[in-house]
A and B are shown apart, each in its own frame.
Chain A
């Protein structure tokens, strides 16, 4: 039979191997969560850009009076050009401006009566809804990643690499009532 010390060595080799497999699995999982956050962030940015574009298109469409156009165009421009610190405020302002414009009495029915009006409204309604969806999905991914990052193993071993801790994106994204 084998001497005792060989059994001992084999046992500890097996333990080390299983631990390595487990750590590697945890690292893969964390990496997948980070990828999900990045994908969701890209989707959210795309949705925000598209909503601003839809607002600008409506402002430039000659379907509105000049004052309404100016309100919309300013808010959309602010949202597009805001730096990272002011982004959430500017996007919230765009949501409020859109609601203020669209919730005017008779707004939707007036626009639908004009040519192109229907298409512009549909685009705006779709873009606003997608901002709300994309933000919910992004924050959901961020929450999952942050919970995973808080686990002891991840804090002790540098499994997260240099990936920054993702932050939530908090805005008022209630869509206008089209």
Chain B
């Protein structure tokens, strides 16, 4: 099958959508499909062999933040040429409601089109104003996919129409093995008696976003850190490090390590550096890609019992749960886990098994089924007249 995938955001800027598309493309190529990805990219960017550039994206204010989007005559012409030359069986457009390449591709194409909706938001004035403009482009999409229940709800409420749910995938292999970060013993040594013997808790996520629940974890660390003189806390993710440190009592500060933004490789190593990975999110999480990554790395997990986490962790079998927002309960549960290496080992094995359902190979298989459903007969994607 020849598949053309449209990426709306600049390829070399890290982001969930870009990573999703890269992983999907590689999984599809692994299945033996022919894949071409068109994406905005900086002029000197190095793209993988399956990707072609549609030119630079420009930062513009959109929907309350500054987004880098590709639009205009040049991008439009390049998308048209790419569709014309591609002869695709299916066109797969990501985030077609964003004013970028995805929307341009919907305008420029006719035939079997699959659209994947990633974003979810509570309310958006912009979308309700622009819905009529989007309508005629979005109407061309034959099969819609939402990556989460929240994304699906956003689609139903703001744009109308329905979608099938195919969650984000995780390349579980990529996270499976890694050396711990320098200065961190890692779990391999966890069973043995260690001189510092305090263990390590880990957190990954935006540190300045209250919904990620870092505040709960910091309060729990205040309790636990005083009880356990060797316990350390490893924090990674975007946000102001000084601001976080300021929230920790002075005597505990030497034991809190803030990595800030980390590279992909260091992120994986961070998952392997801690004894218990804590996901204290307060809500608003539809799936929790971070949780799935930590599960792939085999980290014993302690997560808040919000609905999404409860489901991913199989009701507590693949990771311990604590009442959301309850710092004392988090401290108690983390303490119990730190004292029970056998249970940690069991949770780690269960997590690795449970996360297989979210592996890219099973996600890509479902996406291929969607392709096969919409690509009837021998219809191919063709260029369409303007707006028709």
The residues of A with any CB-CB pair to B shorter than 8 Å are 25, 28-29, 32-33, 36, 39-40, 42-43, 46-47, 126, 129-130, 132-134, 136-137, 139-141, 143-144, 147
Alpha-carbon separation in the docked complex, A136 to B372 (Å): 14
B387 at the interface (CB under 8 A from A): yes
B143 and A133 form a contact (CB under 8 A):
yes
B164 and A136 form a contact (CB under 8 A):
yes
**Chain B residues with Cβ under 8 A from A46's Cβ?**
376
Alpha-carbon separation in the docked complex, A127 to B366 (Å): 11
| Cβ distance A14 to chain B, nearest Cβ, rounded Å | 21
Question: From residue 158 to 182 of chain B, which have CB atoms closer than 8 A to chain A?
Answer: 160-164
B139 and A136 form a contact (CB under 8 A):
no
A-B contact count (CB 8 A): 55
Given contacts A46-B376, A137-B373, A137-B374, contact A144 B162 (CB under 8 A): no
* A140 CB contact (under 8 Å) in B140, B162, B376, B388: B162
B19 at the interface (CB under 8 A from A): no
Q: Is the interface of A mostly helix, strand, loop or mixed?
A: helix
* A39 CB contact (under 8 Å) in B142, B369, B370: B142
Given contacts A36-B142, A43-B376, contact A136 B160 (CB under 8 A): no
B212 at the interface (CB under 8 A from A): no
When A and B form their complex, which 6 residue pairs have the shortest distance between CB atoms, in order from nearest? A133-B373, A137-B143, A140-B162, A134-B373, A130-B373, A136-B164
**Chain B residues with Cβ under 8 A from A134's Cβ?**
373
A143 and B162 form a contact (CB under 8 A):
yes
B124 at the interface (CB under 8 A from A): no
| Cβ distance A178 to chain B, nearest Cβ, rounded Å | 12
B370 and A28 form a contact (CB under 8 A):
no
Number of interface residues of B (CB under 8 A): 20
| Cβ distance A174 to chain B, nearest Cβ, rounded Å | 13
B12 at the interface (CB under 8 A from A): no
| Cβ distance B52 to chain A, nearest Cβ, rounded Å | 28
**Chain B residues with Cβ under 8 A from A129's Cβ?**
366, 369
**Chain A residues with Cβ under 8 A from B160's Cβ?**
143-144, 147
B267 at the interface (CB under 8 A from A): no
A-B contact pairs, 22 of them (CB 8 A): A28-B388, A32-B139, A36-B140, A36-B142, A39-B142, A43-B374, A43-B376, A46-B376, A129-B366, A130-B372, A132-B164, A133-B164, A133-B373, A134-B373, A136-B163, A136-B164, A137-B373, A140-B162, A141-B142, A143-B162, A144-B139, A144-B161
| Cβ distance A40 to chain B, nearest Cβ, rounded Å | 7
**Chain B residues with Cβ under 8 A from A42's Cβ?**
376
**Chain A residues with Cβ under 8 A from B369's Cβ?**
126, 129-130, 133
**Chain B residues with Cβ under 8 A from A47's Cβ?**
373
B144 at the interface (CB under 8 A from A): yes
Alpha-carbon separation in the docked complex, A132 to B163 (Å): 11
| Cβ distance A128 to chain B, nearest Cβ, rounded Å | 10
Residue of A whose beta carbon sits closest to that of B161: A140
Alpha-carbon separation in the docked complex, A43 to B356 (Å): 30
B139 and A29 form a contact (CB under 8 A):
yes
Alpha-carbon separation in the docked complex, A139 to B161 (Å): 9
Alpha-carbon separation in the docked complex, A33 to B140 (Å): 8
A139 and B373 form a contact (CB under 8 A):
no
| Cβ distance B370 to chain A, nearest Cβ, rounded Å | 5
**Chain A residues with Cβ under 8 A from B164's Cβ?**
132-133, 136-137
Alpha-carbon separation in the docked complex, A130 to B164 (Å): 11
Alpha-carbon separation in the docked complex, A137 to B163 (Å): 7
Alpha-carbon separation in the docked complex, A42 to B143 (Å): 14
| Cβ distance B135 to chain A, nearest Cβ, rounded Å | 9
A133 and B370 form a contact (CB under 8 A):
yes
| Cβ distance B377 to chain A, nearest Cβ, rounded Å | 8
Given contact pairs A136-B163, A141-B142, enumerate 16 new A-B contacts (beta carbons under 8 Å): A40-B142, A47-B373, A126-B369, A130-B369, A130-B373, A133-B369, A133-B373, A134-B373, A137-B142, A137-B143, A137-B164, A137-B374, A140-B161, A140-B163, A143-B162, A144-B161
Given contacts A33-B139, A132-B164, contact A140 B144 (CB under 8 A): yes
B136 at the interface (CB under 8 A from A): yes
